[in-house]
């Protein structure tokens, strides 16, 4: 899978509304057949920073995402809300879902 983590620093005046500003892009991406997940989180330390964790089935699915109309629209629409160019880590992984964190295994409750 293609695994991507990106940090978006949003202008302070738009930070609270970022989920709404990015909603169309998020929903369209999640609907792509090759999208495994596309999840936003907000930093606990910096309220203007959002972290996007996304994964695509393979390089073909990642390419289709970048060529999509909603990606092109996001390239035009979303930068106006940003304080800087997003930072990204992009890797190809030999798995297709999340693995369990064995070092913090939770025993069955009950």
**pLDDT digits over 9-21, tens only?**
999 999 999 999 9
102 inside domain: no
What is the predicted pLDDT for the residue at 20? 98
71 inside domain: yes
109 inside domain: no
Can you give the residue range of the structural domain that contains 21? 2-94
57 inside domain: yes
CATH number for position 90: 3.30.70.100
101 inside domain: no
* pTM metric for this prediction: 0.92
pLDDT digits (tens, 9 = 90+) for 39-91: 999 999 999 999 999 999 999 999 999 999 999 999 999 999 999 999 999 99
28 inside domain: yes
Question: d(Cα 15, Cα 82) in Å, to the nearest integer?
Answer: 9
Question: d(Cα 55, Cα 81) in Å, to the nearest integer?
Answer: 24
Residues 6+ apart with CB under 8 A from 73: 24, 25
What is the predicted pLDDT for the residue at 75? 97
99 inside domain: no
3-state secondary structure of 4: strand
What is the predicted pLDDT for the residue at 110? 84
Q: What is the band of 103 on the pLDDT scale with cuts at 50, 70, 90?
A: very high
110 inside domain: no
Q: Do residues 99 and 3 lie in contact, with contact meaning Cβ atoms separated by under 8 Å?
A: no
Helix %, strand %, coil % of the chain (to 5): 35, 30, 35
The number of folded domains in the chain is 1
What is the predicted pLDDT for the residue at 68? 98
């Amino acid at each position: 899978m293609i695994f991507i983590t990106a940090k978006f620093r949003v202008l302070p005046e738009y930070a609270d509304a970022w989920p709404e500003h990015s909603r169309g892009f998020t929903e369209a991406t999640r609907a792509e057949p090759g999208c495994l997940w596309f999840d936003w989180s907000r930093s606990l330390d910096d309220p203007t920073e959002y972290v996007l964790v996304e994964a695509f089935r393979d390089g073909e699915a990642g390419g289709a995402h970048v060529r999509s109309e909603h990606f092109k629209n996001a390239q035009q629409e979303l930068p106006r809300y940003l304080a800087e160019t997003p930072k990204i880590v992009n890797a190809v992984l030999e798995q297709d879902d999340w693995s369990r964190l064995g070092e913090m295994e939770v025993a069955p409750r009950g």
